[in-house]
Every structure is written in C-alpha cells, then in structure tokens.
Amino acid sequence: MAKVKNTACIILAAGKGTRMRSSLPKVLHKICGKTMIEHVLKLAEPFGFKPTIVVTGYKGKDVAKAAKGAAKIINQKKQLGSADAVMSAEAAISKFSGDVIVMYGDIPLIRRETLKQVLLRHKAKGAACTLLTAKLRDPSGYGRVLRDENNEVVSIIEETDLSFNDRAVNETNVGAYCFDGKALFEALKEVKINKNKKEYYLTDVISILKNKGLKIEAFSTKNEDEGMGINSRGELAAAERVARSRVLEKFMDHGVTIEDPSTTYIDPGCVIGADTLIRPFTMIEENVKIGQNCAVGPFARLRAGTRLSDGVEVGNFVEVARSYVGGGTKIKHHSYIGDSVIGKDVNVGAGTITANYDGKNKNKTIIKDGAFIGSGTILVAPVTVGKKAVTGAGAVLTRKTKVPDSSVIVGIPGRILKK
Ligand code: UD1
Ligand code: CA
C-alpha cells in the first residue's frame, strides 16, 4: 500500500477505562490475543503516518511497552478529556503543516479500507475535518452526529448532552478523524469544559470548525461492527466475537470448512490447507500449521508449534503441543501429544499419552512411520518407537526406551518381544 504523505497520527490511550473495572488500562485488554492498542497501531501502520503518537496516562509505561516502539509516546498529565489529550501531543508535531489523524485506542474493529476512504474523502473535498461515522441500530452511549437541512455535519453531541429529539439520531461518532492540523490546534484552544462530565471534548471541535465556515465531511461505514467502541467487558466480548468471526471467514475463503464458527477458535497467525475440516469446539492456537484434507475435532486443542501434514486426523479430546505429525496419521481419541515427532501413517490409539515433562525438562518422543500405538500407551520421554513397531494396550515405555523397527513392546515396564 502506498504511504500517505505529510500526515501525522495521534492515538488516544490515556484513559483508565473505569467501566472495565480492571487494574489493567483499557487498551491493554486483548481481542483475538492482541491488545486493543496493538490493533489500532496495526491499522495505522501500512499508511506510514509520520509521526505516529500514542498519548498515554493511566499506567502509561505499560501502554508504552505494548506500543513497542511503533510510535512516539506522549504523556497526558491529567485525564482532562479527549481534547486535552490531543493538545498534549501538539508539541511533538509542532511546525507540522499537514493533516492529523486522530483515533481512540478503544476502537479496535475499523478496517483498513474504511480508514482509507476517510483519508481519500478528506483530501478530495479539502475539508477541515473528515470523520468516520456509523449507523447503529442501538446508538446509545455514543456521541451523535448532527446534520443540518443540507445534510452537512454541524456538530457531535455526547449522549449526556443530547436533546430529547436528537436521541433518535442513530448516526454515531466512531472516534477516527482526519483533521487539517493547523485548523485542529487552533480550534482546540476554543474548547470549553463540558459542564456535565467536567472534561474537554474533542468532539466540540467539530462545531467550532463549522462555525468558522470550514468544511466538515463524513464517511459513513455500512458495517455496524466497525463503529464499536469498547468501554465494558460485555463490549470486549462482543468485539472478540466479531474479530474472531473475521479471522474464521478468512480461513473459509481459503477453502477450510468450519462446521460451527461460534465454537471454533483459530489464531490469526495459523496456516490451514484447503479441504481441511474443522469440527465444533476446537481451539487452534498461535502459528499452528495444518496441511490439506485434515480433520480436526470435535473438542480438539492444537497448541503453539504444532504442524500437521496432509490428511492427518485429530479427534475428540486430543491435545497436541509443539509436535510434528506426519501425513495420514490418526490420533482420534483422548490423547496428549507433546514435544513429539510422529511419522506418517501412524495410528495412535485412544488414550495414548506422552509423558514429556520430567519436572525439569521437556523431553522428546519420536514415533516413526507406520507404527501402531496401542490404546492407553504411556510414552515416558525421551523414547523412540521404530518404523512399523507396535505397542500393546496399556504399555508403559519407560525413559530412554528405543523400540526397534517392526518389533512389539508390551507391559509395564515395557518389554520388547521378538520381531
Ligand atoms: C468517545 C467520543 C464519542 C464517541 C465514542 C466512540 C468524545 C468526547 N466522545 O466517547 O463521541 O462516540 O468515543 O467510541 O471524544 N482519552 C484520553 N485522555 C482523556 C480522555 C480520554 O486519552 O483525558 C482517550 C481514552 O483512553 C479513549 C478515548 O480517548 O481511548 C475516548 O475516551 P472515552 O472516555 O472512551 O470516550 P467515550 O465516552 O467512549
Ligand atoms: Ca470509548
């Protein structure tokens, strides 16, 4: 994507997020495994805004750490409101004459295409401010966008200040704006404290600019989800559902069948081949790679570092962690496979457990091609099971056991029988 020239970005993340009832700053709560501030930074990143500034306050050091050098950090001394937060970033972009994007750190669901539309409209119309709006079925809690008889935006009014009639307005302020930088900082000086909330509202800048005869534009997203601001745990959970279903849609677009998206969790960093079937109640964690034509679940958990080759079947109540599983291998019921390398066409019987952890170290289990692991086998790692070897039901393979190719091992502790 082409970088946007001469445009700065200010992300507001100083608030505590009182309604979360958390000791963690609000923007550090996670959605799909990533903090909200990271989501917003990731949205901004491809545009190449310079500088990108994150305004911190409550537990600012922790927020700065999550922002990971992606941005300049500015501290807002006291949380006097969103207008004050933007003003505190002014010094960091002094002598700057371009446009300034302002986004709140608690709006994690905006799509890149949408922000791009806001920018395009802003540049095309030569506006002093272009804001992103959404039309919500239930707009309560959000600032409302008021328009005049020519359908021009005239102001944003917060819920607590709305007149009875304006309560029905369902166009909301999302919290992402593109401003002419000079006009923004001039107007900020004129913002007066809000009597209800005792805060300086950034949203008051809209009517100030309008009253100066400057142009206000709006881009309205058709997608309700993008308008979600996260203020409470309930909204956090709702955003998680949206973000999660977006991730699953991507996998489905690439040819993966997901039987029940509402009970399936797949980390966005995973790779899954076409025609693989993901059955209900399945959790697939960071960076797992799955080949084509596999079947996973129901009730399976694949943890970080797991790789399944093509045609693998992992069934109910199976957990696989940090392991490689070769093509055509089946692990269908009640197993734990950790730190293992399993070859192709292996049958892992029900209830097979790798005892990979000895209290200090995680040890490796190697099971070679074509082996048949009997039900209830316990493999106390490190162990190796040779090609086409067989373990009897309930066998316990003690530490350092090496089962030769094509041989049979039975009992507790495991005894190797003849080939
Ligand atoms: C804000 C908007 C509202 C909009 C909604 C969208 C204002 C006055 N209202 O309301 O129109 O519909 O977002 O979700 O802007 N912050 C600071 N410093 C402060 C105060 C806030 O950095 O002193 C940051 C917060 O950390 C947060 C953002 O600004 O990321 C918005 O503040 P918040 O209190 O969540 O505003 P809302 O009431 O949600
Ligand atoms: Ca908010």
Query: What average pLDDT does this structure show over 307-329?
Result: 98
Q: What is the pLDDT of residue 419?
A: 67
Measured distance CA(257)–CA(266) in Å, rounded: 13
Q: What is the pLDDT of residue 71?
A: 79
Catalytic residue among 29, 39, 333, 334: 333
How many angstroms separate the most distant Cα atoms in the chain?
Answer: 94
Domains 7-227 and 233-416 share a fold: no
Q: What is the CATH number of domain 233-416?
A: 2.160.10.10
- pLDDT digits over 236-292, tens only? 999 999 999 999 999 999 999 999 999 999 999 999 999 999 999 999 999 999 999
- Within the chain, how many helices (H) and strands (E) appear? 7, 35
pLDDT for residue 295 is more than 90: yes
Burial of 70 (0-12, 13-18, 19+ CB in 10 A): middle
Q: What is the pLDDT of residue 96?
A: 81
- Listed by start position, the domains of the chain span 7-227, 233-416
Name the pLDDT band for 97 (thresholds 50, 70, 90).
Answer: confident
pTM here?
A: 0.91
Chain-wide mean pLDDT for the chain?
A: 96
Taking the CA of residue 156 as reference, the ligand 1 atom at the shortest distance is 11
Neighbours of 342 (CB within 10 A): 26
Tokens read off for 118:
């806001």
Residue 26's nearest CA partner among 230, 163, 174, 166 is 230
Q: What is the pLDDT of residue 29?
A: 98
Q: Report, at the CATH architecture level, how domain 7-227 is classified.
A: Alpha-Beta Complex (3.90)
Q: How far is the CA of 175 from the centre of ligand 1 (A)?
A: 7
pLDDT for residue 28 is more than 90: yes
Q: How many residues are present in the chain?
A: 419
Please work out whether the CB of residue 203 comes within 6 Å of at least one atom of ligand 1.
yes
Q: What is the pLDDT of residue 69?
A: 75
Query: What average pLDDT does this structure show over 322-348?
Result: 98
Taking the CA of residue 143 as reference, the ligand 1 atom at the shortest distance is 11
Pick the residue with more confidence: 93 or 151?
Answer: 151
Q: What is the pLDDT of residue 1?
A: 85
Name the pLDDT band for 56 (thresholds 50, 70, 90).
Answer: very high
pLDDT for residue 418 is more than 80: no
pLDDT for residue 95 is more than 80: no
Query: What average pLDDT does this structure show over 80-97?
Result: 92
Q: What is the pLDDT of residue 353?
A: 98
Q: How far is the CA of 328 from the centre of ligand 1 (A)?
A: 53
181, containing H or E segment? helix 181-188
Please work out whether the CB of residue 194 comes within 6 Å of at least one atom of ligand 1.
no
Burial of 404 (0-12, 13-18, 19+ CB in 10 A): middle
